[in-house]
């Protein structure tokens, strides 16, 4: 199942114009995001960058362990995001195992990329 499938009927979405900062590294976070359309670039202070496209998720670490944002997220195109708060995140992880696997996959991919 894709993010589009999971968030097809998202009750909370946000339209972000190209060039807009979604969040800054070091900020606290109460929500994560799924990209419905458009593109996001994650920029970490260590120099790592990640280009995210539709079906990708980001900002999940703030919900998993309540840690500050590890990167700055900037829209590189006009972007539509599904916004997931902690309550919705817990519901999706419980009710949609493919969502949980997708979130874990995104975390693993970014962690591996930072180690190289």
The tens digit of pLDDT for each residue in 25-72 reads 999 999 999 999 999 999 988 888 999 999 888 999 888 888 899 999
Residue 57 CA to residue 32 CA, distance in Å, equals 7
Name the maximum alpha-carbon separation found in the chain. Answer: 38
pTM beyond 0.75: the answer is yes
Band of pLDDT at residue 1, cut at 50, 70 and 90 = very low
What digits encode the pLDDT tens for the residues 70-84? Answer: 999 999 999 999 999
For residue 4, give every residue at least 6 positions away whose Cβ sits within 8 Å of its Cβ, in sequence order, or none: 36, 54, 55
């Amino acid at each position: 199942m894709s993010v589009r499938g999971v968030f097809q009927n998202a009750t909370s979405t946000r339209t972000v114009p190209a060039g807009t900062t979604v969040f800054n590294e070091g900020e606290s976070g109460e929500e994560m995001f799924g990209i419905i359309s458009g593109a996001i670039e994650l920029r970490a202070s260590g120099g790592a960058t990640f280009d995210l496209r539709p079906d990708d998720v980001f900002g999940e670490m703030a919900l998993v362990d309540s840690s500050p944002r590890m990167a700055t997220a900037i829209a590189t195109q006009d972007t539509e995001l599904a916004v997931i708060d902690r309550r919705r995140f817990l519901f999706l992880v419980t009710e949609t195992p493919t969502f949980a696997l997708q979130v874990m996959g995104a975390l693993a991919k970014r962690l591996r990329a930072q180690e190289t």
